[in-house]
Amino acid sequence: MDTIAMIINKDKNKLKFPRGFLWGAATSSHQVEGGTKNQWSEWEKENANKLVKLAEAKWQDWQKNKFPEMFNPQNYISGQACDHYNRYEEDFNIAKELGHNVHRFSIEWSRVEPEEGKFDEKEIEHYRNVIKALRERGMEPFVTLWHWTNPLWLEEKGGCESKKFSFYFSRYAKFVAENLKDDVKFWITINEPTSVIASAYMQNSWPPQKKSLIAAWKLYRSFARAHIEAYKAIHSVSKKSKVGFANILHSFKSYHKITWMDDVSIFFARYFTNRRMLNLTHGYNDFLTVQYYFHNRFKFPRKIRLNDKPVNDLNWEMYPHGIYRILKHLKQHKLPIYITENGLADAGDSKREKFIKDHLKWIHKAISEGVDVRGYFYWSLLDNFEWDKGFWPRFGLVEINYDTLERKIRPSAWKYAEICKSNELKYDY
Ligand code: FCB
């Protein structure tokens, strides 16, 4: 990597990134592949009508008017998604054209191990070809092993809550690593464990919709164990591997002028979202990750939204400065950091360019202050299936027409491509 001095440019409107910086985008199997059969696909079919009803209360009028698809049950069924399973070469051609030199995707556990202990060679061959396609196009693969979906046999045994979750997961991780180790260096074990704990076990909005603080509490340890076991398994088959987990990190701000009450809430929220998984996996990460979407304002005892703040189509506040504070805090771990997700839902593509540039400005500032950030993955390469919200939120650099499956590169993607290709951020505002 370059020394800090080398990235500080004389021209203030041009920010140079360290040599070898990785630029790309991320996806996950269930959200793009199509044709998956796992606990999510089953839950979607059972809950589509309920989700339509919930949409009425959940979203603001401007969102309901702009995205009437949210009232169609089909919106909530992943189905063929983007058919990326069959069109990955076409999609990687686009990523290459956009100057990406890295790509993050996930392996669908339910395809690779459709029955307990029985691995499907054809599916491993599929992912071998996916990786080959990336390498042929000059993109480094970052492989996620678990992006929230469980095979149905595991779900019957209690899913993530099964006492043997870490055993099952590390056995699968080992199998995949043994088969793909020659072409993969970077492995991400588990995607955002704390998002699953919060949304599936505290807020009741994702499968298995179990509101249980006890289950939530236990899951931290269970996910940490699964990560550590998989970390060891991958290293046992491939010494050159670099292994981490994908961590969602929120930024926080207190509302009142005298802040101590808000700060109490923030202390707990920050511990359970940002810190606990890091603590529990200490010593078993070759790199750290940042997945940044949320700026949480606290007015004791809970989170609030301020109406005058810029938001994306999901009404999530956009707060680029937050990523800088998160990165500065991670510096103490003295590990390389990859921003493995950062993005926004913006169907009109009117905010995406500025969003990316503003975040990169803050990331660059952190780098110039000694934080070892080595890559940025925009979420997502393609519009895709956004879990319990379905298809209407549009995160893609590439727009998908879900009727024809036609791909259309958005203007902001070309702006991001300029940065990827030059390794430099130019801005004029
Ligand atoms: C992240 C998830 C990813 C996507 C984005 C918007 O938390 O990892 O799958 O849903 O949010």
pLDDT at 9 over 70: no
Q: Which carries the bigger pLDDT value, residue 8 or residue 122? A: 122
> Which residues have any ligand 1 atom within 6 Å of their CB?
28, 31, 191-192, 195, 248, 291, 293, 341, 379, 386-387, 395
> Which atom of ligand 1 lies closest to the CA of 248?
7
CATH of the domain at 297: 3.20.20.80
> Which atom of ligand 1 lies closest to the CA of 31?
9
CA 2 to chain centre: 27
- 26 lies in which domain range? 4-426
CA 137 to chain centre: 23
pLDDT at 269 over 50: yes
Q: Whose CA is nearest to atom 4 of ligand 1?
A: 386
Q: Name the residue among 252, 270, 376 with its Cα closest to residue 325.
A: 252
* DSSP assigned state of 317: B
pLDDT at 232 over 90: yes
Residue 10 confidence (pLDDT): 60
Angstrom distance (rounded) from CA 163 to CA 145: 19
Residue 5 confidence (pLDDT): 44
Residue 123 confidence (pLDDT): 98
Residue 3 confidence (pLDDT): 47
Percentage of the residues of the chain whose pLDDT score is greater than 90: 90
Residue 8 confidence (pLDDT): 56
Residue 34 confidence (pLDDT): 98
Residue 220 and residue 280 in contact, taking contact as beta carbons nearer than 8 Å: yes
- Cα(7) to ligand 1 centroid in Å equals 30
- Cα(260) to ligand 1 centroid in Å equals 32
What tokens appear for 77 in the block? 């069924």
- Cα(244) to ligand 1 centroid in Å equals 17
The tens digit of pLDDT for each residue in 103-140 reads 999 999 999 999 999 999 999 999 999 999 999 999 99
The number of beta carbons lying within 10 Å of the beta carbon of residue 214 is: 8
Is 180 strand, coil or helix? helix
Number of domains in the chain: 1
pLDDT at 322 over 70: yes
Name the strands in the sheet holding 251-254, side by side, starting at the edge strand that comes first in the sequence.
251-254, 295-299, 302-304
pLDDT at 65 over 90: yes
- Cα(249) to ligand 1 centroid in Å equals 12
Angstrom distance (rounded) from CA 352 to CA 412: 6
- Cα(397) to ligand 1 centroid in Å equals 15
Whole-model pTM: value is 0.96
The tens digit of pLDDT for each residue in 126-175 reads 999 999 999 999 999 999 999 999 999 999 999 999 999 999 999 999 99
pLDDT at 428 over 80: no
Residue 7 confidence (pLDDT): 58
Name the strands in the sheet holding 337-342, side by side, starting at the edge strand that comes first in the sequence.
242-246, 186-191, 140-146, 102-106, 22-26, 373-379, 337-342, 288-292
Angstrom distance (rounded) from CA 270 to CA 297: 12
> Which atom of ligand 1 lies closest to the CA of 191?
8
> Which atom of ligand 1 lies closest to the CA of 195?
7
Ligand 1 pocket test: pick from 84, 387, 395 the residue with the most ligand atoms within 8 Å of its Cβ: 387
Parallel, antiparallel or unpaired: strands 407-409 and 398-400: antiparallel
Mean pLDDT of the chain: 96
Q: Whose CA is nearest to atom 9 of ligand 1?
A: 28
Mean pLDDT of 303-319: 93
Parallel, antiparallel or unpaired: strands 288-292 and 186-191: unpaired
Q: Whose CA is nearest to atom 10 of ligand 1?
A: 386
Q: Which carries the bigger pLDDT value, residue 7 or residue 404? A: 404
